[in-house]
Amino acid sequence: MRCGEKDTDERSTGRAALPVRTCFYRSLPKAVTLKEKDFRCRSPAFRLTTMRAKNSLIIAGCPILVLLFLAVPFPAPAAERVQVLIRGLEGPLLENVQKALVLPYGLTTGEEVNTFWLERFRKEAPDKVRRALEPYGYYRAVIRTSLDKTGENAYRLVAAVDPGRPVRIEAIDLDLRGPGGGEQALRKFLQDFPLRRGEVLLQQKYEEGKAALQNRATELGYLDADFPVHAVAVDPDRSTARIELVLDTGMQYRFDSVRFEGATRYPDKFLNRFLAFKPGEIFSYAKLGETQLNLINSERFREVLPVPLKAETREHRVPVEIRLDEAPTKRLRPGLGYATDLGPRFSLEYRDLNVYERGHEFRSELNLSQRLQSLGAGYTLPGEDIDTLTGLQVNLRREDVATYTTSNASAEVNRSASFGRGRLGTVYLRLERERSTVGSVPLDSRLVLPGIRVSEQRSDSLVRPTRGHHYSLDLRGTHQAIGSNNRFLQAIADGSVLVPLPWRLSLYTRARAGATFQNAPVSTLPVSYRFFAGGDRSVRGYSYQSLGPANDQGQVVGGRNVLVGSLELNRALFANWGVAAFYDAGNAFNNFTDIRLFQGAGVGLRYFTIVGALRFDVARQLSVDNPSYRFHLTVGFAL
């Protein structure tokens, strides 16, 4: 047997691995029937892995040999014949010692225990325990071991441990040297070092603080930062320790030129939009990662690999090569779905992400459903940086629901800019012509509508988020003086928040508020700019667009204002399922002094897939005469 030392235990324990000493048995005892040499194989794929915890053999390669091996009965695991008890410890100390005293393979064969190797393991146990306690500051532990026979071919190994006093830090000397010695960000890291004078010496905290300091220096462009002095002197007799740690930052590096490889169909001017840095700025791996994410999110590349060419560095300026694997630029994606509000639906989307090989984007989309049909096209011109876009859009839309019918044609030009992560600001000008009938009254509207919109959206997943938020603020209006046959000013606010809770619960809240300022009667307001409530995404328990002010015949005609809110408690089940309980309230109205909020509550079932989510809700109306139930089903899949 040869005994080797390993610095870290690689088994998953739910916390960071700590140093332990482990013996690896390179050959098996003679008493073992199955020997390693019996499983030799010429195939390079063959491996024999010894799992100390489970004492099982995994063989890859030589299929015939594997079948023969599976036919041979396994020897009884050592843990079934030998019990290891550790006394005097608890918590993390006990857990690390248990990992150190895992029995090696080969102690049992069939029904027999190899007492020679078991006794040798007992003698080595005190040293193993001491090394397992040192990362927690215990260097003077007293360990007594005993080996008792508890039955036929059954043994108990007992390790009684007195950890003694922990070693405490008597002095700690931290310093910076080199050109970056005056960096305030690094000085602050020294002040926040996780170990202080008088605390117990914990090796894990020391290594974490040391690594964090070096990483921070690297983030600030000091790529050669290293520790010429890093010493921990322990005096076991006095149970004290002295720490001396000096970081030499070296010179600060900066970005140099950037070259792209593998994107022959995109001009460099377009690709430079996605860079999160400029030549001459302080070098940062975080900026390289942000650049990589920008290019991936553009959906134009299958693979993005930024490579700093440190070997080509001149005067501490690092050139960067970004290797790209282009994705197809033209895409056609059909989709199927169903929603209680609109009925069965079919969609077809076409995108070209590199029109004229200049990075321009063209998109067109057809949507067909029982109550809503639309056809739209858009053209996007990239700006000088990733934060700016100019868009042109045209849309045809027809909607036929119980409360109204409308046909709408519009054209829009917009300019968008990002002002922070997930935040987008847009100014737009829309030309629109709408013909509609609501409450048996026809209406013809012509609008020249400028507006401004601000939005933000963040979540931890696009498919099944567990936390996130979204808001949108839209201010728009028109007047006869700019070519419309109507005048009004409208403000709309939408928002939602998803908050994780214990026990796989989450709370989802959403709200929508809108207000219209208009001197003329509401009957002159275009139908697509009136507010309604009710439906799958509004107040469940009521049909789509069925809530709002009504005319003398009782027909809902919509209102100037709207207020809708929802609370939903979700519970995740298994990998892809979930259940929900919800409460909705809201309505559309003309005057804030005369608001009646309709209410609905119920339960729902959720099923999540990578291409869409299925939502099934059963809602009951509240606080109304003769309340009824309504089913709401929403499902959509991209084909």
Q: How confident is the model at residue 249 (pLDDT cuts 50, 70, 90)?
A: very high
Residue 53 has pLDDT above 50, yes or no: no
pLDDT in the model for residue 540: 92
pLDDT in the model for residue 55: 35
Residue 1 has pLDDT above 60, yes or no: no
Averaged pLDDT score across all residues of the chain: 83
Average pLDDT score over residue span 324-332: 92
List all residues 6 or more positions away from 298 whose beta carbon is below 8 Å from its beta carbon: 274, 353
Residue found by looking up tokens 């995109």 in the block: 266
Average pLDDT score over residue span 493-517: 93
Q: How confident is the model at residue 19 (pLDDT cuts 50, 70, 90)?
A: very low
Average pLDDT score over residue span 48-62: 34
pLDDT in the model for residue 352: 94
Q: Please list the helix, strand and coil fractions of the chain in percent, rounded to the nearest 5, in that order.
A: 15, 50, 35
* Residue from 223, 110, 98, 231 nearest 172 by CA: 231
Residue 25 has pLDDT above 50, yes or no: no
The letter for the amino acid at 57 is L
Average pLDDT score over residue span 23-31: 31
Is residue 364 within 8 Å of 383, Cβ to Cβ? no
Q: 568-589 pLDDT, tens per residue?
A: 999 988 888 999 999 999 999 9
Distance CA 247, CA 594 (A): 70
Half-sphere exposure of 381 (CA within 13 A, CB side): 9
Q: 201-243 pLDDT, tens per residue?
A: 988 889 999 999 999 999 899 998 999 999 999 988 888 999 9
pLDDT in the model for residue 65: 33
Q: 258-279 pLDDT, tens per residue?
A: 999 988 899 989 999 999 999 9
Residue 410 has pLDDT above 50, yes or no: yes
Q: In the 8-state DSSP scheme, what is residue 36?
A: G
* Residue from 369, 395, 406, 434 nearest 557 by CA: 406
List all residues 6 or more positions away from 188 whose beta carbon is below 8 Å from its beta carbon: none
Structure tokens at 341: 């509000």
